[in-house]
Structures are given as structure tokens and as C-alpha cells.
Amino acid sequence: MQRGTAVHGQFIESMPEAAALEQGREALAAVKAALYLSQHHCQKYGVDEHKCARWLSSQKLFGTTLGAACSAARAPAGGYCSGQDKYRSLDGSCNHLEQPAWAQGQALTAYRRLLFPEYQDGIHLPRGPKKGLALPSARLVSVAIAKDRDVPDRELTLALMQWTQFVEHDMAHTPTSKMVNTGTALTCCRPDATPLAPRHAHPLCQPVTIPQDDPFYGRVRARCMSYIRSLHAFRPDCGFGPAEQMNQATHFLDGSQLYGTSARRDRSLRLFSGGRLLLARRSGHGQGASRPLLPPADEPRDRCQVSSASAVCYKSGDVRANSHPHLAAMHTLWAREHNRLAEELAELNPQWDDETIFQEARRIVIAEMQHITYDQWLPAILGSRFVQKVGLNTPDSNWYRENMDPSVSNAFATVGLRFGLSMMQGRIQLFDEERRPNASLLLRDHFNKPNVLEDGSSLDGLVRGLATQSSQQVDTFLVEDLTNMMYLDASERGVDALSLAIQRGRDHGLPSYNQYRKLCGLPQAKAFVDFADVMSRQTASRLGGVYAHPDDVDVLVGGMAERPWEGALVGPTLRCVISEQLLRSRRADRYFFDNPDQPYPLSPEQIREVRKVSLARIFCDNANDVASMQPRVFSLPSNSNRVTSCANDDAIPRLDLTLWRENNV
């Protein structure tokens, strides 16, 4: 893999940590052992490979060296759980005290399954077709359904798109594999985007085949899009059975994209003075240039698509912070929010040491993120009536469930929030204080190149743009910046985000769209026309033109093709997958901000203060010189959502931190 290339851009998104690679090697050995048993025993006695996979999943690794490695991988970072920790751990451990062996929610553990995986060989080979030799190329599917059409939403802003991605990054980060023995990053195609000879192709490669007549890549004779299989994880019960994939983030909504998931990352992000995060002042220009930005990355040429060791590349809790300007801006705002809270808490409680201030500020930041997600974002995504009906934002006294697994489902991580791709704009507009566009950026030019934030006025322009520019509608249409030019390099040839997402679903053994329809209460389709109960007949027909059988349709493709359902932005299948996860993520989190059943809960008065916070207030308090904002930034300004002064505490309430003065707690 060469730095700065589109393949490098892909790798940055899924960059594995050293600890993840170590566990992934052991987990791969367990998969190979299961594959050996299937091939040499089940096949010998004529047992169907899929039935064999289910039987193998009931057999445990305990008593073997792999069983010991699985147990060690699931141990909490400190070696034990005290049961009385005031603050949540960085790695997600010690949340469920009655089930410590589950390691539920801990970073570097497997995703949970909504449905038993469907691998072609029952164990490891990516999902195959109902009939025939292969599913249609993921790129062929992308070209067939993902047209580049400008259909801006009439009500929603890019802030909703960005919060969707921010939540996704908080809860899921699927690392990619590297070469097992050397740890070298892989590439699965030649530099000219043609296939490797079979003898040179690594077993963990699963490249996307590009058709010869591809409308974009055909012109540059590209035939191969690199895809490396996701890193494996031990099965949750330390058993044999089909392959599982690893979540490098914690499974909780806990700000891990800001704070990291390990003590080592935590140390690299903190100032260790006054409880603050490490930020760096720049010698930039424009208004607000003196305000600090994220600290520089230790290895810019590895973590961004840049050619110089002195190039702009930021460090945060998640390497994906540099993915594009809006995401880098969001990380910056929340790092500043932490420091703003820390400084005020230090004034209120001069007796607190650095660690106490840091943990209290972190606790408030996580509470703010949780509140914004459940009380402001979810109703916009799933519909207010549905959110209230299933109780996503109306907790009761019996809300917390100790025996509920909080782990993120593979379907949620791989498919659930991917609809956000269709909301992205190819041309990012920057706005002045009067909400007039005064500059613009092409998304294709800024993947993993966050230098635009160095201009002090650009950060404010981006923030105002998040609250002012319409998102694209949620549908199957994606801008060309994502389907042809993502991670664009010097060859003027990028990659296709949708193709890679489809390929990842197959790699993870996700069952077909038809199976998830059944899980979510819809009838299984026997013909493509049966899909017309939740999508247009034209879309169902397009699916029939690219897939051979209704059971072949990828769940991501079918989910994105559904019409918005009952006030939601998404259709019934994606709504089902998202709501299942977010309900679980709240009920199964001991440290959720309003849960009274935790060692040191927030007081009712503190909880009421947290519920005053909005993303509008975060924008106002932490941008450089943004002086006005509409109260509901997920919605476009209107007569009922007027842009108002940030000093108007009635319209955009502030959190009163005096309730955190120690004698009040």
C-alpha cells in the first residue's frame, strides 16, 4: 500500500490498533479451526455446511490455548471490576457487574448478531447467491441504483447528516486486516486498478470487480477496487463457529470517538492540567484564528492523505476525525466543549485535582451527547410518534437491564446508519453571520485533508453551513464524490463508498434483505414485485434487473431503497435495526446519564440541566465567532425556528454548572 492513494484512504477509515491485530490473529485461528472441523468431519458424514456451522457454534474453545486467549481478550483493562466505580471505563468494561465474563460492550470484542450469519461455506466465505456461482458485483449494484441526483431536503440540514455519522463513529469502528505475520498493510489490486494474479492475491482480499463497461471507471480502464476483509474477533461465548467481526470502538454511546478506548490513547489526548484535553494553538489567519484546534497527529502521512510530515492532520480519539471537513469541525467543537466545562468546573471546585475535573467534564460531555442523540436526533430519524411509542426517550424507574447485552449488532454497525451517505453534499457551502454563502468546497478534494480548518473563518463557515445548508434527501442517490471520487488521489481515481459498504456486508455474512424483512415483521418476498409494499415498483424492478433472486438482495441496498415510513427518514427495515440497537444501548448501559441505578448517579437537578443542552448551544459556545443560531439545528431556519442570538438563553438554554459545585452534589 502506498501513502496518499485511494487505497490508503480506505485503510485510514478502518485502521486497526496493535491490540486489535493481536486479538484478530488469535480469532482467525479459531475460525480456521472451525473451518477444518467443518470440512474434515461434517462433510465426511454428509452434514450440510450450514447445519454444521450451527452445531459448531454450540461447541466451546475452553480447555484449549485459543480458549485461554479468548478469556484473556475479554478481561477488563484493570484486571477486575470494583463495582463502585464512579465513572465509566474508557474501554467499556465493568458496565455489567453480574456478567463480567461477557465483556459486553467492551472495545475489541465481537459485534452481536440479529440473525445467524450466512457464509457461503457456513464459516468464513462471504455470502453467496441463492443460485449460481456469485452475487452481482457490488459496483454493478451501486451503478444500477445510486444515481447522482441533486434532491435537497426541504426541512433538514447537514447537521443531521453529521450527527448520524458522529453517532455511528461513537458506537462502531470495524478495523481491517493486515498481513498476519508481518503486520504490513495490504492492497488487493495492482496500482493501475487491475486484478492481481491469483498467486499474488492475499487470502484476506475480497476485491470488488469493476465491470468493463463501467460508466466512470471504464474510461480509465479500472477493473478492480481493493477490499480487505474485516478483522476477526472471538465469538462472544468463546466458541467455535462462523466468523465474527471486531468492534474497535466501545459498544456504548460514550464519546469514545473523542476520548479513545485505551489508557494509552487517553494519555496522548490529555493536557494533565486542569482536567483539559490537549489542544493546540495555530498561527492561522482569519477571525478566531487564535482559538485552539485539535493537536497534530503523531504520524500525519499515515493518518491523513498528505505527503509531508508537517502537513495538517489532527489527533482525536478516533483516527476518522480527519475524514472530511464537517467531521473534523465536529470533533473540534466537542474537544473545546470538554475544555470549556473543565475550566468552569475547576473554578467552582478549586479543591478538585486534574483527574476529578477531567472525569466530571467527560461525564457531562457524554451526557450531553446522549441527550442530543435520544431527545433530538432520534425523533428526526425515526419519527417522534414511533420514538415515543417504543419508549426510546421516555425512561421509567425500571429502565436499566443488567441482563441485557449492550453490544452493537453487526447489522447496525455495517448497515444501520449507512443511509447517512445519501444525505451528504458534494459541494460544501460556508456561510457568513447573515447566512449568506461566501465560499464553497468540493468534498472530493478534502477527504483526509483537514487543512481548511486552519483558516479561523472557515471553521465558523462550516459550522453555520451545518445548520444552514440542506442535506440531500434519504434515498438511493449518492453524490459522485462518494460513488467515484472518495479518497481521490493523484491518479484522479477514487473509490465507491457504496460498493465498499455492500462488500463489507457480504464479508460479514449478513443475511439478505429478505431475511431482515422477515425479522422486522414484513413478509418475505417471493418475487421482486413483492418488494413494492415498501418501495416503488420502479426501484423493485431495478433490483430485479441486477439481482437474480429476491433472496440475493443485500440488506443495505434493500434498506436504502425503502420509502420513508410513518414519519421516519428511513423505511421499516432500517428503522427496525436502528431502534433495536438504540433501545438496547440505553437500557443496557449502567452509566447512561439519567440511570439512577449506578454507583454515583447524577442528581435530578443535574439531569434537568443536561436536558437543556442542544447542539445549537454546542455550536454557539465552541465555534470561533458564531453569534447566532436557530434553536433546532437539525431543521432549516423557519418562522418557527428562527436564527437568534447565541446570547438568548431563553431560546438556546445554557447548562448551569453551579449544580456541580461539590457541596451541591
Write the CB contacts of 453 (distance below 8 Å, at least 6 apart in sequence). 293, 312, 314, 325, 328, 329, 332, 459, 462
> Residue 614: which of 587, 635, 590 has the closest Cα?
635
DSSP 249-267: S-SSSS-HHHH-SSHHHHH
- CB proximity list for 199: less than 8 A, separation 6 or greater: none
Instruction: Give the largest Cα separation in the chain, rounded.
Output: 75
Locate all alpha helices (DSSP H) within 487-536, ordered by sequence. Answer: 497-507, 513-519
> Are 110 and 20 contacting, i.e. CB atoms less than 8 angstroms apart?
no
Strands 244-247 and 232-233: antiparallel
Q: Which three cell numbers stand for residue 463?
A: 459550522
Rounded to whole angstroms, the Cα distance separating 607 from 614 reads: 14
Q: Which ranges in 292-324 belong to alpha helices (H)?
A: 300-303
Distance CA 462, CA 326 (A): 6
Question: Under 8 Å CB-to-CB from 267, ≥6 apart: which residues?
Answer: none
Catalytic residues, by residue number, are 169
Q: What CA–CA distances, in Å, run from 440 to 241, 426, 429, 443?
A: 51, 10, 4, 9
DSSP one-letter string for 217-255: GGGGT--EE--BPBPEE--TTSB-SS-EEEESS-SSSS-
Q: Are the C-beta atoms of 222 and 206 separated by less than 8 Å?
A: no
